[in-house]
Amino acid sequence: MPSPSYRAWRFVHPDFDMAGPGSTGLQFLPSCGTAMVEGAGAVRQSILLLLSTRPGERVMRPDYGCDLHRLVFEPNDATTAGLAIHYVRTALARWEPRVDILRLDADAAMDEPSRLDIVLDYRVRIALVTDRIVFPVHLSPMEA
């Protein structure tokens, strides 16, 4: 029995994908069709969508998403990093059963003190393909 093939519409995100000016968003083919992405690329795209969606944004799936938006006014410290790890792990466990988390860490960015970088190393279960996503969360701590 052949393994299932994951397929999705190709969506180029300006923060995570290499793209030229004006070439972000939903991708179309010159023949007027919609570009597709398959396999591990479709899973990666799904994870990025999950992490960047707030619960309540999707009308027909109000619970879908990740609570990272809750951290926007928190200080960039170990507690916030721990909460980010918890939110990502919880969202992936519920909404992305196609992956195994190999490593999940969060730490303040060296070059930008108001940015928390979440590093996710994962493996797509069926294909046994590993990948890494570095997901930035921009924090805006309130001034004292």
Give the pLDDT of the chain (144 residues) as one tens digit per residue. 455 578 888 877 777 766 555 566 777 888 878 888 888 889 998 999 999 999 999 999 999 999 999 999 999 999 999 999 999 999 999 999 999 999 999 999 999 989 999 999 999 998 889 999 999 999 986 554
Long-range contacts formed by 60-68: CB under 8 A, 24+ apart: 64/95, 65/91, 66/90, 66/91, 67/91, 68/118, 68/137
Domain count, the chain: 1
Confidence (pTM)? 0.85
Would 144 be classed as within a structural domain? Answer: no
- The burial class, CB within 10 Å (0-12 / 13-18 / 19+), for 143 is exposed
Would 79 be classed as within a structural domain? Answer: yes
Would 86 be classed as within a structural domain? Answer: yes
Would 2 be classed as within a structural domain? Answer: no
**pLDDT single digits (tens) 47-62:** 999 999 999 999 999 9
What is the domain-level CATH number for residue 57?
3.10.450.40
